[in-house]
Amino acid sequence: MASSEELHKRRATAVARGVSSVLSSYVDTAAGARLTDVDGREWIDFASGIAVTSVGNAAPRVVEAVRAQAERFTHTCFMVAPYESYVSVCEQLIDLTPGTFEKRAALFNSGAEAVENAVKIARHATGRQAVVVFDHAYHGRTNLTMALTAKVMPYKHGFGPFAPEIYRAPMSYPLRDGLSGPEAAARAVDVIEKQVGSGNVAAVLIEPIQGEGGFVVPAPGFLPALAQWARTAGAVFIADEIQTGFCRTGDWFASAHEGIEPDLVTTAKGMGGGLPIAGVVGRAELMDAVHAGGLGGTYGGNPVACAAALAAIETMRELDLAAAARGIEGILVPGLQGIESVHEVRGRGAMIAVELADAARAAAVAARCHEAGLLVLTCGTYGNVLRFLPPLVISDDDLRRGLDIVRNSLLLP
């Protein structure tokens, strides 16, 4: 087998530079919360492929479901020749997302594609165009979702022009703005009403806990006040739960922590157990406002990905991975508190982060973790946040070993 060094050399003349990697090691195998690289080195995984392998890497039930489905049939295109597993995944999305109102769902390939479709649905259903997003937001890298995303470098730089009718409102960021949830919501609503006009707003789109933007947890009351404002204004409230969904934050969806019932929810990442699948689920009258044939795509809800999603969801239910996420929070948060260089420990469930002085410090701590065999990621508008997204099935032992590595790396000057 080629070594990481050899693969890195081959990569330089084959893979576009725009696609970069956190690790310079190349993966050979992975299981649960462990990765093994081609040089035989083992890593504890606090990244989960960016919040994807919540049920663990190569989770046995997912592997078996994928194998069995691939043997039956690999692809027909749901728009051409439909099959049961697509319907079943939609039923699961309807069942698991907050709100008991009548819902419908549709499946796609990636988070960005789900967000694009949620915006299409909201615009079609309301007959309005404006979409309100927030500071620090991340919604993807396609043209529309780049416009929805806040941070220019690396996501948007040189890639414009961007889609029109996107408006950015101030986010609740308690560490930086010191505002209560209702105060921060009033500030956002003021911007929306004065700069967009409530009658023009098709959708208010928000991550209940921001992911790439820095694991920003809005002050309590911010999300409910925005959802209430959207209802009054006749705008669609869309929760982007692509990173927060499917047990990651200690409940099936992060909206549930504040009792919010979004009109539409976008999902991806953890739902597929490692295979690419995404969904939009929400109020039947909004979803069904779109004409037949208005939504879809060749691969959306591919049968192998649907089989993986059903197996992942079953695993989450049976192992109660929402409770596991709460248990991870119970170990990580106290373990990270009281370290001098940490400005704030925040997050929920198995979506925990520390905000540090600056990007250089976060990069240095991450590099130390990597040297010590722990895979961690950074994030944040300012690049100064170190984030932890372990698989929800991680063993106590690996979690504590990983935490020790993080603590030791943070304690060094």
Structure tokens at 292: 């037949």
138 is a contact residue toward ligand PMP (CB under 6 A): yes
* Whole-angstrom distance, CA of residue 231 vs CA of residue 151: 28
Piece of 88-96, 135-143, 198-206, 287-295 that binds ligand PMP (CB under 6 A):
135-143
Piece of 168-176, 239-247, 381-389, 395-403 that binds ligand PMP (CB under 6 A):
239-247
CB 279 within 8 A of CB 305: no
For ligand PMP, the closer of residues 4 and 378 by Cβ is: 378
- For the bound state, the minimum distance from the C-beta of residue 352 to ligand PMP, rounded and expressed in Å, comes to 15
* Whole-angstrom distance, CA of residue 295 vs CA of residue 300: 10
Pair type for strands 278-283 and 27-31: unpaired
Q: Which residue is nearest to ligand PMP (CB)?
A: 111
For ligand PMP, the closer of residues 184 and 271 by Cβ is: 271
Piece of 15-23, 109-117, 373-381, 383-391 that binds ligand PMP (CB under 6 A):
109-117
Number of residues that bind ligand PMP (CB under 6 A): 15
Binds ligand PMP (CB under 6 A): choice among 92, 110, 302, 381: 110
Applying the rule CB under 6 A, the residues between 206 and 235 that interact with ligand PMP are 207, 211-212
Strand order in the sheet with 34-37: 27-31, 34-37, 42-45, 374-375
* Whole-angstrom distance, CA of residue 267 vs CA of residue 256: 14
Q: How far is CA 234 from CA 197, 199, 202, in A?
A: 12, 8, 8
- For the bound state, the minimum distance from the C-beta of residue 127 to ligand PMP, rounded and expressed in Å, comes to 25
For ligand PMP, the closer of residues 211 and 380 by Cβ is: 211
CB 381 within 8 A of CB 213: yes
Binds ligand PMP (CB under 6 A): choice among 56, 99, 111, 390: 111
Piece of 76-84, 90-98, 240-248, 287-295 that binds ligand PMP (CB under 6 A):
240-248
Question: What's the sign of the alpha-carbon dihedral 77, 105, 274, 317?
Answer: negative
Applying the rule CB under 6 A, the residues between 26 and 65 that interact with ligand PMP are 50
Name the nearest CA neighbour of 239 among 200, 212, 213, 210: 210
Interface ranges with ligand PMP (CB under 6 A): 50, 110-112, 115, 138-140, 207, 211-212, 240, 242-243, 268
